[in-house]
A and B are shown apart, each in its own frame.
Chain A
Amino acid sequence: MSEAAAMTRDSGRESGGAPAADRPLVEARHVVKHFDLGGHFLQRERPTVKALNDVSITIRRGEAFCLVGESGCGKSTLARVVMGLLDPTDGEIRFDGTRIDALGHRARKPFHRRMQMIFQNPYASLNPRRTVQQTLEEPVRFHFPKLSDAEVKAKVEQVMVSVGNDPGWGNRYPHEFSGGQRQRISIARALMVDPDFVVADEPISALDVSIQAQVLNVMMDTRERLDLTYLFITHDLSVVRHFGSRVGVMYLGTLCELADTKTLFETPRHPYTRILLSAIPRVTTEEMQPPGLPGEVPSAMNLPSGCVFHDRCPLANARCSAEVPKPQSQADGTLVACHAVEEGRG
């Protein structure tokens, strides 16, 4: 096993030059993603979903970067673009200094090993026709073809134990497990190749509260033990407060605010962030209050002019409907994209 472990460690540092501890691990720069919805070929303007509009984030080594926002705001799309599951319409993705969005399949292989993903739906993310063992062995055999059968088996067992699974599950099929167990198997699959970076797209949303805690604990343990960097997507802000080191708040395909978790919860600046935080249900006997967010999220096919939030924002003025706010760095390093904050109107 030690040999296998050594091997995986070695090849971990093969690309991207010397590891620079202060260099960000993952960067998304000015990412734009539009989905063309076919449409008629005679139509001048094809319907386009503008899922991401110039989003930039930087994920530092070892942090748990959380992405929050309402359904449809583009969180999963950003995660998929980062993982290479979708090609960005514009902008670039860098991993450990190397631009990866334009790499060919072969050149990308080392990055496939270093970047892994955990999905939302525990019932769809494991192939129903493959045993747990087959599912877990596949990534190791693909990325470390030189390992012997015994080494692969040992690795599977070690990872299964490390995420709190019974190593005897190997010969069983996914349908024999509960949602929480499946999610832990998915985590094990992601960890099989000793990744540096793991994207978790709402990994606990489909689980019961008591099971959510189990899975979240496993993710926190592995993060510390294996020195992982996480991109964690969720719409549950109490999970963010607990798990995240920094948070990006998204609305309708744009990033409104990016801050340290503590700062964000203590001094939310963007008007949308403030409303979002006020809407978190808490265990208290205070009665639930309306969040004060009028209207509906506009369609991503027909974005509002200027600030995408202006037609629902309590602080909007004429400038907001005309000019797109740029993310501005605040004194404490927080980025906020809002004219009102910039002008000190908040």
Chain B
Amino acid sequence: MALLDVRDLVVEFPTRHGTLTALSGISFSVDKGERVGIVGESGAGKSVAAFAILNLLSRPGRIAGGSITFEGQDLTQLSTQRMRAVRGNRISMIFQDPMMTLNPVLTIGTQMIETLKAHRDISEAEARRIAITRLGEVKIPSPEKRLDSYPHELSGGMRQRVVIAIALLTEPALIIADEPTTALDVTIQAEIMSLMLALCKSHGVGLILITHDLAVVSQVTQRVVVLYAGRVVESGETGRVVHNPVHPYTRGLLAALPGEAPPGARLTQIRGTMPSLNAIPEGCPFHPRCDYVQDRCRQAEPALDSLDGHLVRCVRAHELMAGQAA
């Protein structure tokens, strides 16, 4: 059984201009210890998916349909009380901005020890010992001393490591990381992503890595879900998706990367921009930007097709897979 199973999740934001459907029925699952990437452009709904799983949607957002099954229980049906026992305990979250997690007026140590004591019945000394171990695991030099530091005394990369240490404190089954390294330099990104990769493996923790960087996803995750305008357009084993993408959007994203083209050549660009959620085109939501568009694409929204385990939402999926589409 999957650790996390998201089925037909619909998230809506009622606004005074009408209801925005940020996620229109997305499904994916994460097995125990599995690392899954969620990629897509800004506004595709990646963060909304993460917040929905943790039941942390900002108002007026609400889950309007579907289920989120985690360790056998449907999170959408849990009481606030029981949800609190899951969030930050069985599922941890890492945000792009470490200060979303860290409290600026408390020392790192206080925050770590309080988090532990909130979820475990342990002594102060025991909590302290665990905190030091975790800080050591994220390669923070002299962790005993760092316990007494305030967040502002640390650099951005260092703070993000502390956040990872906090995320690991309660030995969660799943970590959701929303663009954890987007604001950081490449060397620090490599440091932190390789660290997370190693820790997820050694602790057997599942990971949902949200990012718009396909390169990072390819080097960290085992499976990937590509979101476009609140829909899953492609998902499958990471190697397969990045090396043999089928959906025109995924192909476009990969082709647009400068690293993939010969130097100086024009980059393949996806024309136009992602539609806003209250003006999603009829039929396939990608059709106005698609190079493979046909008449039938404009008529009905294609279903998510399975091509032996590789899911693609495109009417021409079979042709594209076989390399016949022009």
List residues of A whose CB falls within 8 A of some B CB. Answer: 70-71, 178, 180-181, 208-214, 216-217, 220-221, 235-239, 241-243, 261-262, 275-276, 278-291, 293, 296-297
Q: Knowing A238-B257, A241-B258, A288-B219 are in contact, say whether A217-B264 is a contact too (CB < 8 A).
A: no
Chain A residues contacting B273 (CB-CB under 8 Å) are: 178, 180-181, 211
Interface string of B167-190 (1 = CB under 8 A from A): 000000000000000000111111
**Nearest B residue to A177, CB-CB:** B273
Interface string of B237-265 (1 = CB under 8 A from A): 01100110000000011101111110111
Name the CB-closest residue of B to A285.
Answer: B239
Given contacts A208-B41, A283-B254, 6 further A-B contacts (CB under 8 A): A210-B270, A236-B186, A283-B242, A287-B194, A288-B190, A296-B155
- B195 lies within 8 A of A290 (CB): yes
Q: Which of B157, B254, B257, B260 has the most CB of A within 10 A?
A: B257
Q: Give Cα distance in the complex from A276 to B185, angstroms.
A: 10
As a 0/1 sequence over residues 255 to 291 of chain B, the CB contacts with chain A under 8 angstroms (1 = contact) are 0111111011111111101100000000000000000
B216-A296 in contact (CB<8A)? no
Partner of A210, one of B185, B215, B238, B252: B252
* Cα–Cα distance between A210 and B270 once the two chains are bound (Å): 6
Residue among B191, B238, B268, B274 facing the most chain A CB atoms (10 A cut-off): B191
Query: For the complex, is B158 an interface residue (Cβ under 8 Å from A)?
Result: yes
Q: How large is the interface on B (under 10, 10 to 19, 20 to 34, 35 or more residues)?
A: 35 or more
Q: Is the CB of B266 within 8 A of A217?
A: yes
Contacts of A280 in B (CB 8 A): 186, 215, 259
The 5 closest A-B pairs by CB, nearest first: A238-B259, A281-B215, A242-B258, A213-B256, A279-B190
Minimum distance in angstroms from A98 CB to a CB of chain B: 31
Interchain residue pairs with CB less than 8 A apart (14): A70-B185, A210-B270, A212-B256, A213-B258, A214-B269, A216-B267, A236-B186, A238-B258, A241-B259, A242-B261, A242-B263, A285-B242, A288-B219, A291-B190
Q: Please, how many angstroms separate the alpha-carbon atoms of A181 and B185 in the complex?
A: 26
Q: Is the CB–CB distance between B266 and A210 below 8 Å?
A: no
Bound Cα distance from A278 to B264, whole angstroms = 22
Q: Are B215 and A213 in contact (CB under 8 A)?
A: no
Contact B269 A289 (CB under 8 A): no
Q: List, in ascending order, chain B residues with CB within 8 A of A71's CB.
A: 185
Our pick among B186, B190, B218 for the contact of A285 (Cβ within 8 Å) is B218
B64 at interface (Cβ–Cβ under 8 A)? no
Known: A281-B216, A283-B214. A210 touches B269 (CB 8 A): yes
Complex contacts, B260 vs chain A, CB 8 Å: 283
User: Nearest A residue to B155 by beta-carbon distance?
Assistant: A296
Q: Does B213 interact with chain A (Cβ within 8 Å)?
A: yes
Q: A287-B197, A290-B195 are in contact. Are A282 and B259 (CB under 8 A)?
A: yes
Alpha-carbon separation in the docked complex, A242 to B268 (Å): 13
Query: What is the distance, in angstroms, from A248's C-beta to the closest C-beta of chain B?
Result: 17
Instruction: Please measure, in the bound complex, the distance between the C-alpha atom of A180 and the C-alpha atom of B273, giving whole angstroms.
Output: 9
- Min Cβ gap A165→B in Å is 13
A residues near B215, Cβ cutoff 8 Å: 280-284
Cβ–Cβ < 8 Å partners of B271 in chain A: 214
Complex alpha-carbon distance, A238 and B266, angstroms:
14
Residues of A within 8 A of B20 (CB): none
Contacting pair B253 A210 (CB below 8 A): yes
Cβ contact within 8 Å between A282 and B187: no
Bound Cα distance from A293 to B185, whole angstroms: 12
0/1 per residue, B197-218, Cβ < 8 Å to A?
Answer: 1000000000000001111101
- The answer, yes or no, to whether B3 is at the interface (CB within 8 Å) is no
* Smallest beta-carbon distance B264→chain A, Å: 7
